[in-house]
Structure 1
Amino acid sequence: MDYELILTAPGGTARDVTQLVQTVTWSGSDSQTARELSASLAVPKDGSVTPPELVEGSQLTLRREGAQLFAGPLLSVTTSSQSSVVDLSALDRGRYLVGSEGWYQFAGVPPETAVAAICRDYSIPVAALAQTGLAVSRKFPGVALDKIIKSLYALAAQKNGKRYLARFTGAGALEVVEKPGAATLEIKSTMGVTNTWDISNLQNSVAIRTDTGALVRPVEDAPSITLNGRLEHVLIQRDGEDAGAEAKAWLEDHGLQQNLTVETLGDTRLISGNAVKLRDTGSGVSGLFWIESDTHTWKNGQYYSKVKLNFRNLADDTISGSEIQ
């Protein structure tokens, strides 16, 4: 097998359970901070194999060709008296951001500085934090840490029009990265492509207004208005700021969505947030896309990847907390 699955007991004793594996699935989404690992193990009940110690506090580690893809706590174990199959699931260290709440107030500091402070407070290892150089302010009274981090970078994104993604490396360290504008990856061969376009969330006009309601200016997608009629969003521009970049980003994020679900041979680089070029002669679909979600499966000696692609580089514009009064 080209991968290793390691189970580490709470006391630190590690056991290679690769030979017991029937299926391993490693997956993630750009809307979720934590990546997931699930596995099905065949554990004979005849005593021919010592059962692994699947207890609370255990850790799962997945490696492939010497590179660590995943490390995280075991969250659930399912066994049956009528089956030798044991199902496991785990989340990476993003779980500690999702499951922990903090109380913070940041006034006029860059997101990267604020996030570094949060990570120090909660002993979260840091690989890299995207540098924005933009001052943001927000109050977070008892808000999940992952939402605080995403909100801080979303506030910066409103000012510079960039897109950011928070995730953990295979070694278990937080990284906040700017989503790429170009692709270094390419999918040349596929086993199946499903193509869907959708305008359910379409808004093709943004009215930039002052806090008293006066119209500053409209920002529009004229071709879309011609095809679909006007669907307008109101954006409040603060004193001394120009909301033009935020308005353009809103139109991009709420325009025509084209999603592809692509099944291909396994490639661990095909993870959420990355950009990829698709050249599929079978379906006739080609172009630059961004990965929204990914699922990697090892089964019966084969490795496959399934990715959901979007031709737009979407922002996570959900902002938690409240303005500082």
Structure 2
Amino acid sequence: MNNLQFLIGRKPKFYDVSDMIVKAVSSGARGKAPRDLKVTLLDSEQLGSVDTDPSDGLICTFLVDGAEFFRGIVVSDNRSSSRTVEIHAMDNAMYLTKNKGSFTFKKKTATQIFKAVCKKANLKVGGAVNTKFKIKELTKKGTTFWDVIQDALSQTYSSTGKRYYVTSIKGELYLKKRTESNNMIIVDPDTNTTTYSQTRSIEDTYTRLKLYSSTTKKKKTTTKVKKTVINKPLENKIGMMQDVESVDKKIKKSELKKKAETWKKDKSTMSTTMSWSGLGDTRAISGKAICVKAPQLDVNKVLYIDSDTHTWQNGSYTMQLTLKYAASNSDAG
């Protein structure tokens, strides 16, 4: 049984309402912001003296066995006839989705774009890995700050085959690379697994790609195919399914080659995902690697967490994960 703590308030005063916790659920997903937390509290006389008004700018912190698992902003509260109060909070990545603007970046890395956008949103950056690849130009008009960052990461992945993700830790935002860890979780039916299932699909699969550039002169636009990639073995089996992507007219041959390689691994293959449920582990957060053993599916490999939901209730801690297969460790995520 985990020791749970839930603190709510504003500096300098925070209320410890840990004894009133009935249920807590936290969830997150790859490429989505923010992470959220829903805590159900017993609506007792003691809780009546605690401010839960979302318009007061309240901060809450959720700890599991003394370690901070979540910190965020209270966005709603709900009182019911069952004499419970549900507090809904989101981490500070919420501000990236709740602010819109126009941006133009030239020859900047996703790291530089991430830092610039966070600065504009008045959000503190705790750390950011160097993505190295310079994006020739990224222009976004009237879009959320989050979309700008995700566009930069998407272009970086397309050109390098490397994935990165944004996470909030103790009130600070981090840009991290998706990699395996020495402290990786291992799940298997003998120790911590309740159920698992695997889904294979070609719904989002393509068999060929056309990379083209566009040039506009005197209001007339012309296009030129820079490269065509065909996965012939797959196309012979399932038929032609064509994808297109616009590239800069001055793109280098090496960049075209890398885009083609990334596309083939990412989109010209059958997608395979796994749904898993079992005992909870606070290390299992979207974007991280996990070692999965599922003998009935002949699976014993590293997968990456696409979405996660952690639930604490009645003294038990469980989690549900959506896991993604990857062509290789470097392009996983």
Report the TM-score when normalising by structure 1: 0.87
SS of the residue corresponding to residue 146 of structure 1 reads helix
Which amino acid is the alignment partner of residue 314 of structure 2? Answer: N
**Matched residues in 2 for 1:210 and 1:103: separation?**
24
**Matched residues in 2 for 1:6 and 1:182: separation?**
29
SS of the residue corresponding to residue 162 of structure 2 reads coil
The residue aligned with 1:55 is 53
CA drift of 1:210 comes to 4.6
**Matched residues in 2 for 1:280 and 1:40: separation?**
34
Contact between 1:163 and 1:178, CA under 8 Å: does it hold in 2? yes
Deviations 1:271-325 (A, max 9, x none): 1111212112355433221111001111111111110011137789xxxxxxxxx
Contact between 2:304 and 2:332, CA under 8 Å: does it hold in 1? no
Deviations 1:229-278 (A, max 9, x none): 12111234432423222222223332311111101211111111112121
Deviations 1:174-195 (A, max 9, x none): 1111222678332123100022
**Matched residues in 1 for 2:324 and 2:209: separation?**
22
**Matched residues in 2 for 1:30 and 1:112: separation?**
18
Relative to structure 1, the CA distance from residue 39 to residue 280 in structure 2 (aligned partners, 3 Å threshold; closer, same or farther) is same
Contact between 1:35 and 1:91, CA under 8 Å: does it hold in 2? yes
**Matched residues in 2 for 1:141 and 1:216: separation?**
27
Within 5 A, what are the aligned runs for 1:1-325? 2-10=2-10, 12-44=12-44, 47=45, 50-56=48-54, 57-80=57-80, 82-136=81-135, 137-169=137-169, 171-180=170-179, 184-189=184-189, 190-211=193-214, 212-237=222-247, 238-242=249-253, 243-254=256-267, 255-281=269-295, 284-312=298-326
The residue aligned with 2:219 is none
**Matched residues in 2 for 1:181 and 1:62: separation?**
26
Relative to structure 1, the CA distance from residue 290 to residue 223 in structure 2 (aligned partners, 3 Å threshold; closer, same or farther) is farther
SS of the residue corresponding to residue 270 of structure 1 reads coil
**Matched residues in 2 for 1:155 and 1:144: separation?**
17
Which amino acid is the alignment partner of residue 37 of structure 2? Answer: L
| Unmatched 5+ stretches in structure 2 | 215-221
Aligned residues: 312
SS of the residue corresponding to residue 117 of structure 2 reads helix
Q: CA RMSD in A?
A: 2.4
**Matched residues in 1 for 2:288 and 2:311: separation?**
19
Relative to structure 1, the CA distance from residue 40 to residue 218 in structure 2 (aligned partners, 3 Å threshold; closer, same or farther) is same
Q: Which has the higher helix share?
A: 2
SS of the residue corresponding to residue 83 of structure 2 reads strand
Contact between 1:4 and 1:63, CA under 8 Å: does it hold in 2? yes
**Matched residues in 1 for 2:263 and 2:226: separation?**
16
Relative to structure 1, the CA distance from residue 48 to residue 94 in structure 2 (aligned partners, 3 Å threshold; closer, same or farther) is closer
Deviations 1:85-127 (A, max 9, x none): 1112110001111101233221112221232222233321112
Relative to structure 1, the CA distance from residue 138 to residue 37 in structure 2 (aligned partners, 3 Å threshold; closer, same or farther) is same
Contact between 1:204 and 1:231, CA under 8 Å: does it hold in 2? yes
Percent of counterpart pairs with the same letter?
Answer: 22
Contact between 1:219 and 1:248, CA under 8 Å: does it hold in 2? no
Which amino acid is the alignment partner of residue 54 of structure 1? Answer: T
